[in-house]
Structure 1
């Protein structure tokens, strides 16, 4: 039997939702690590500890990438075959998480990810076939080969938060590995505090992320554009288009638009010259 380590990175989590998160995949996990980035409610997390769940308390906010590397290194040292990476506010629909395991049917597969259902906008992202090769996947809900991730150096700690997942996927692609999405495995997640706005009946999803997040969003996009344009030009050009669309949505629909736009500009500058 293959060994699976569940990894949840937490920062000021909703304890009720976190419990729902764990309950949705605990049956397939041999062990679960909750890696907390110095939450204000970190004492409450200790109530989750038992013979299957361990809590790692970081003394400061290390970000997503470094937290995931702590889990990946633990998995490697303790001979786990896979890690299941989870956000604190996501959970699998009942009886669907096991479909991730059956997707690993050839050596070149590095990640199998679920279909995604946004709990705020009810937007559903899936594929036509039971398993279909895709280009990139978000962190939450991904079942990843420990060996393949270690072979490319794990998660990129330069990025801290935002686009850690996409950058990992691009490095995996460059190394010849595949990423699959499962039609039957369904993850419910929240894309920020999202809502849908309309212009001439055209829907636009507003995620309402904070100015702090917008800085890393912009900085890390530019980092990816610099490092992967010549390897994946079509993907990068499409993502640049998505970037401009996001800026449009922020300026027209979101609160604190001036501060967010300022942080995006700062992020672009840092992405060009400081990372």
Structure 2
């Protein structure tokens, strides 16, 4: 009897608790926080620090040898007193590959510097190698002054000799001879070197007179040098272009 009375009471209490539990569940769902937004994308250049370099790897095997290069050409070294290219070497530069050669004998025992007329030629160059240009200028300037005329620079420029320095070249040329024809009248500097070569007995056959240089002083005078032994040997002075002095041609290599 007592249990029958409690049963309706339990049912009533249960019915009252159902809405309460549903409300609690709904409240639990409703009270969830909003979903956070997506964070900013990181900068792609923001890289981490580079780690330390690792140890070196083992040395690789030696590769095969390359092809052999072509044989180089050997350099010729020349010395003062050497017989070479038609004359005697009387001066060389520091590397011994370039220098000056003197003819073995005079090209004239006495001839004037001018070609019959005093004139300014502009051949005032001095120094090693200057005689080449001086000679070309003198010949070009004076060649028409007197026909047929001859003068110191032309005598030097016309000199041609074979390799032995004695045998003249054939006028028409030859396939069997080696001929050198690029001779010139030395400048003051070159003439002084030639005088020193005489004093050192490198080159011989000189006269004791003064020799012509290709260096002009004035319209009516040019430089010359005594080749005597002792006073006034080696003295250079300017004199009349009409003076007749010997000529010793030189060439460069």
TM interval, short-chain normalised = under 0.3
Larger RCO (alpha carbons 8 Å, 6+ apart) = 2
Larger Rg: 2
Larger strand proportion of the pair: 1
Larger helix proportion of the pair: 1
What TM-score results when the alignment is normalised by the length of structure 2?
0.23
What TM-score results when the alignment is normalised by the length of structure 1?
0.22
